[in-house]
Amino acid sequence: MASCVLAYSGGLDTSVILGWLMDEGFDVHAVYVDVGQPCEDRQAMLDKALKIGAKSARVVDVREDVCRDFAFKAVQWQAKYEGMYLLGTSLARPIISKACLQVAREVGAEAIVHGATGKGNDQCRFQLAAEALDPGVRMIAPWRMEKFRKLFPGRTEMIAYCAERNIPVKASISKPYSSDENCLHISYEAGQLEDLTVNGVDLVDFGMTVSPQAAPDKVEKVTICFEAGVPVAVNGKKCSAYEVIDTLNHIGGRNGIGRIDMVENRFVGMKSRGVYEAPGMTLLYAAHRVIEQLTVDRDLVHLRDVLSPEVAEMIYYGFWYCAKMDALLAFINEAQKTVNGEVVLALYKGNMAVDSRTSPNSLYDEAIATMEGEGTCRHAADYNQTDAEGFLRIEGLPLRVQGRVNPRQW
């Protein structure tokens, strides 16, 4: 009998897919990849997979890896897809593919299966990552198969299938949206959220954040320490990568930080509406930028900012394991060497303000920058305001020549 590894979340889709794969003659090895889903019972998921009939079921814990090797790299790049989305789902998919491939190699499975829709981005992320790591991989995507879609044209049929097989699922026909969660964020889409006249923030039952209106009526301060652009401590306590995210999720969440509602351009060509909450990542992006302002040379950070949308797009589309990304990660490792220091953020009802910042690598020199006289230390001589006369004459030369040859109306 053929065997496969199913990237198994324990939700409605993958529970149905598990049963369907068995109907198709597969031995199914269910793999729940733990990327820090905050609202799920791991053991219950495994028990359900085995009850359905999985050949095996296991949890693969990659919480530390997804934070250290993926999320923190995105923070260093300040990578935000279309200027807003912090890539929480996108960053988890490559490591889920990797974990499933590793299990497939161990159990001798012939194929990898995922439950991503044929209209979405996740199918791209799963498959592109898997093929980059194992060019000979066989990928089964039931939602791209007409015979599967005929059996399950909607949630009603899927819920009925589960009822017939005594498969326990939380889903109901009236659920107004779907969600996907990990330690980096929770995303909400589909259902009533497809109607752009519906207020998404009011509709969604958020799992990581309170509303700004319900947040405490007092400021909470949080201190984040960075070494080479990597967050290593929160409020003076050294933390593992996952502990940083988890701690900041709780701090940001209780202060209403990190909710967005956006319409984005999917890789497959359509626009879609998503509501996201990412409290910890929102705090990290903000704090990291503050330390960079002190420690990174102007031309270097401007180059990073030019490349940042490209990196965000690659992550969003699913091109993590490729030569271009390898080179960009090598670049950011070099660029972040001096990004060391500590930031204190003041949080209040969904807002963040910088309370203080320090760095042993700070390029900010008060004696040079001061508007009070010429400064008092020897470094003040590095900038003489009189020198600006010649600087501006040289910078303005092309403009004067153009102005004489091609006069502008003014």
Catalytic residue list contains 69: no
Cα angle for residues 272, 273, 279 (degrees, 5° grid)? 130
Contact of 107 with 2, CB cutoff 8 Å: no
Catalytic residue list contains 122: yes
- Name which of 161, 170, 177, 122 is nearest 144 in CA terms: 122
- Name which of 65, 35, 33 is nearest 46 in CA terms: 33
* Active-site annotation holder among 13, 34, 180, 246: 13
Contact of 93 with 122, CB cutoff 8 Å: yes
* Active-site annotation holder among 178, 254, 272, 362: 178
Question: How far is it, in rounded angstroms, from Cα 150 to Cα 209?
Answer: 38
Question: How far is it, in rounded angstroms, from Cα 344 to Cα 275?
Answer: 28
235, two tokens: 């409020």
Question: How far is it, in rounded angstroms, from Cα 11 to Cα 44?
Answer: 11
Catalytic residue list contains 93: yes
* Active-site annotation holder among 63, 93, 155, 273: 93
Contact of 200 with 275, CB cutoff 8 Å: yes
HSE-CB for 216 with a 13 A CA cutoff: 12
152, two tokens: 């399950």
Per the listing, tokens 């390029």 go with 363
* Active-site annotation holder among 122, 246, 357, 359: 122
Per the listing, tokens 């006289």 go with 373
Catalytic residue list contains 13: yes
CA distance between the termini of the chain: 81
- List active site positions: 13, 93, 122, 178
